[in-house]
Amino acid sequence: MATRHAQDERAALCELFDELGPDAPTLCEGWTTRDLAAHLVIRERRPDAAIGILLPFAAAYSERVRHKVADSDWPTLVGAVRNGPPAYFPTRIAAIDELANTNEFFVHHEDVRRAQPAWQPRDLDDGLNEALWSALCRIGRLTLRRAGVGVVLDDSNGRRRRLIDREPAVELRGPVGELVLFANGRQAHAQIDIDGPATAVERIRNAHLGI
């Protein structure tokens, strides 16, 4: 049976939720673990509100729904994240789940892990590294484009890709998990090296990255 990386990251995140409780910090500015869990629930169970995650005109409604969902008791909220979307959602299909959720749950798992004292980087297995590299090459053009610079990715396994062909350009070097976090707006918490003109490096370090 193929490894379900998205499901593994979901399960590990929910174990952390159980361990830390609803009031632990996360890397998502202003959000506790309760806020993050509510975000994940509306993303999968409230499509009417989830649209506000992507589209600014619906953001206020999305936030109202998220706050309401966050008022659920903690075990119920974590259970909703753990159980995933309703049976009719496309992400119930394993292949679609991997495409849509591996990046999402890896990043949010790290959002919780890295907000806690004495965290350490994980040693990711080859399968997860491969899945994250594929996800990064698919969505990195979207998440990194706001920096307005060219981007070359260079991971620790010898893979290299020019993702955004533009000048000036920077090269992002590091383990693929760290590159994924950087590309998803966690620049201050991603352990990578950046080469390139100083102005371009500053732009990408400080850009509001993400979809």
**pLDDT 10s digits, 24-51:** 999 999 999 999 999 999 999 887 777 7
**Domain assignments of the chain as residue spans, ordered by start:** 5-113, 130-206
Distance CA 78, CA 81 (A): 5
To the nearest whole percent, how much of the chain has pLDDT over 70? 98
- Residue in 8, 24, 41 with CA at minimum distance from that of residue 111: 24
| pLDDT range class, residue 88, cuts 50, 70, 90 | confident
Distance CA 127, CA 43 (A): 26
| pLDDT range class, residue 3, cuts 50, 70, 90 | low
Asked whether the beta carbons of 17 and 33 are under 8 A apart, the reply is yes
Distance CA 72, CA 70 (A): 5
Q: Provide the whole-model pTM.
A: 0.93
Which residues are paired to 164 by β-bridges?
151
**112 vs 156: which has the higher pLDDT:** 112
Distance, CA of 95 to chain centre: 18
The CA-based dihedral angle spanning residues 77, 82, 83, 85, taken in that order and rounded to the nearest 10 degrees: 80
Residues contacting residue 197 through CB under 8 Å, at least 6 positions apart: 168, 170
Q: In 3-state terms, what secondary structure has residue 193?
A: strand
The CATH fold assigned to 130-206 is: Nonspecific Lipid-transfer Protein; Chain A (3.30.1050)
**pLDDT 10s digits, 113-125:** 999 998 999 999 9
Q: Which of 35-44, 55-64, 173-182 has the lowest mean pLDDT?
A: 55-64
Please compute the mean of the pLDDT values over residues 7-32 and round it to a whole number: 97
In the structure encoding, which two tokens stand for residue 25, read together?
């910090």
Which residues are paired to 160 by β-bridges?
154
| pLDDT range class, residue 52, cuts 50, 70, 90 | low
